[in-house]
Structure 1
Amino acid sequence: MLGKLIAQFEAASSDYAQNHGMVRDPDWFVLKLQEEIGELTQAWNRATGRGRKKGRSDEDLGSDLADETADLLGHVLLFARTNGLDLAAAIERKWLFRRDEG
């Protein structure tokens, strides 16, 4: 389920890093999580009136929130991949989800 999505994020991130001369060492992955949480918080603050809109429409603010959430999801998946974490198993264990049998 997550394998294809993780591979897509990895390809995009790897290409981006190569094109911009970035080194994605183990620390980079956890630091990017922190950065993306900050950006999501900033988008949330703008969308909920706790921050300046900076000329953004309500529609733009909603898109910003979705975009930053997508960035965070991507970096969570990249972090898991880099650290060999089995998210599917962890989700089943922590959220009490079960894989579909069919």
Structure 2
Amino acid sequence: MDLRQLTEQVEAVSSTYARKHGIIRDDTWFLLKLQEEVGELTQMFLMRSGQARDKGHSPQELEVGFRSELADVLSQVLLMARHHDVDLEVEVERKWMPWHPDRLSAQSGSRAAGAVLSEDAMESDGDQGNPPP
């Protein structure tokens, strides 16, 4: 399954759930739902890493929970992107792939092939022509 197919499958689940429970999925809902899921991922990470109490969960349960929360975060990112008509494949290509090592070593021009990026460039916003974090 590719990213677009996955997005449509997740959308089918989310829209059905929203209709069933009378949820209006507006701009704010998509952002807050993503934040909620990131919070749940954080909680599971802390329990899994021993930085929070495990609430009686076994290591196996914590691992399953961590993986489930990662899936929830990804699903909410896909839903939010779809809601805002953002093609994530295009945006990842635009923002991340110019900095792929294979592409950097093939570049010519202002930067020597294989040149190491400055620390300042690495900390800058990728939208300004610098790599993402």
**What's the TM-score once normalised by structure 2's chain length?**
0.71
- Look at both structures and tell me which one has the larger radius of gyration over its CA atoms: 2
- Equivalent residue, structure 2, for 1:81: 82
Deviation, structure 1 residue 11: 0.3
How far apart, in 1, do the equivalents of 2:57 and 2:96 lie? 36
Aligned length: 98
- Structure 2, unmatched stretches of 5+, are 101-133
- Equivalent residue, structure 2, for 1:41: 42
- Aligned AA for 1:24? R
- Equivalent residue, structure 2, for 1:59: 60
- Deviation string for 1:34-76 (max 9, x for gaps)? 1111000000000001111111000000000000000000000
- Equivalent residue, structure 2, for 1:91: 92
- Aligned AA for 2:72? D
Deviation, structure 1 residue 22: 1.1
3-state SS, counterpart of residue 56 of structure 1: coil
3-state SS, counterpart of residue 57 of structure 2: coil
- Structure 1, unmatched stretches of 5+, are none
Q: Considering only aligned residues, what root-mean-square deviation do their CA atoms show, in Å? A: 1.3
**What's the TM-score once normalised by structure 1's chain length?**
0.91
How far apart, in 2, do the equivalents of 1:94 and 1:14 lie? 29
Deviation, structure 1 residue 19: 1.3
Query: Which portions of structure 1, spanning 4 or more consecutive aligned residues, are displaced by more than 3 angstroms?
Result: none
- Aligned AA for 2:35? Q
Of 21-30 and 60-69, deviating more is: 21-30
Deviation, structure 1 residue 93: 1.3
1:13 and 2:45 correspond: no
